[in-house]
A = this chain, B = another copy of it.
Amino acid sequence: MIIEVKDVQEGYVKSETHNHVTTIEFFHPQGNSLPGKILADLAHEIVYAGNDKTVNVIVIRSAGTGAFCGGASFDELATIKTEAEGKQFFSGFANVINAMRKCPKLIIARIHGKCVGGGVGLAAAADYAIAVEGAEVKLSELTVGIGPFVVGPAIERKTGLSGFTQLAIDASHWRNGDWARRKGLFAELHPTLESMEESIQRLTHTLSHSNPDAIAELKKEFWKGTEHWDQLLMERAAISGKLILSEHSKQALKKIFDARAKAKA
């Protein structure tokens, strides 16, 4: 994969296909927290690989050795001025989840580090998430005056209601990888990066040689009952988009930026 200076500064989404396996990698310098541009590119690449008849399996991963995904970009959150802009921003994660949901291939997520907010949603929307120890999860939305409304349905679908409510209510609390595995968010949790890579290698190899018609039918079965999510997740984006304009959210974002500025000084 060719990475340019601009990519390192502004983030990127890149795809590569080898042996019928497409790997989609995203990156953003601020702890893989995602602005609307990256989310749109990510959704686009998923749709593209889903339509490519030569592709049998998709792996979603992120770059770096830090967080897998820090959720929504605070920088962009802070620029939202109207409910319409708010809905527009939060529809970014909705579009990615819906792309994953409607993709006729199985999607494996490679979770090499922490997941926050929308990042937990990406792990949940994958058909099979393979993680390594240290991959903790947190839904911090309530601490910034909003809630995990867009990603909620994807998370609840995997963890059941109790796992989701625990994450959403105790919003400042990290749950470890073992918790995520026990709740069904991660299908596998590995002690080392090597063991995680080996498992991804093995599974993608097997799936790329499996009957694609059977896989397309499986994918349909796995996601049955979610046909209304195109609309549902947009309604959810509107809720978050309205709440982010609240005084609570403004104060919370101000605190985060003040802390950041202080850390830099």
A binding-site residues for B, Cβ under 8 Å: 106, 127-128, 141-143, 145-147, 149, 152, 157-163, 165-166, 168-172, 182-185, 187, 203, 206-207, 210-211, 213-215, 217-218, 221-222, 239, 243, 246, 248-249
Contacts and interface: CB of A to CB of B under 8 A. Distances in A.
Interface of A is mostly: helix
Give this chain's copy count. 3
Contact of A159 (B162, B169, B172, B187): B162
Given A142-B215, A147-B221, A162-B158, A210 B248 contact: yes
A106 B222 CA distance: 28
B203 A170 contact: yes
28 contacts: A106-B169, A127-B165, A128-B166, A128-B170, A142-B211, A142-B214, A145-B211, A145-B214, A147-B217, A147-B218, A149-B221, A160-B160, A161-B184, A161-B222, A162-B184, A163-B184, A168-B218, A169-B187, A169-B203, A169-B207, A170-B203, A172-B206, A182-B182, A210-B248, A213-B246, A214-B243, A217-B239, A217-B243
Contacts of A214: 141-142, 145-147, 243, 246, 248
Contacts of A146: 211, 214
A163 B184 CA distance: 7
Contacts of A165: 127-128, 187, 222
A187 B213 contact: no
Contacts of A207: 169
A215 B239 CA distance: 12
Contacts of A213: 243, 246
Given A127-B169, A128-B169, A143-B210, 6 more contacts: A142-B211, A142-B214, A145-B211, A165-B187, A169-B187, A211-B248
A143 B206 CA distance: 9
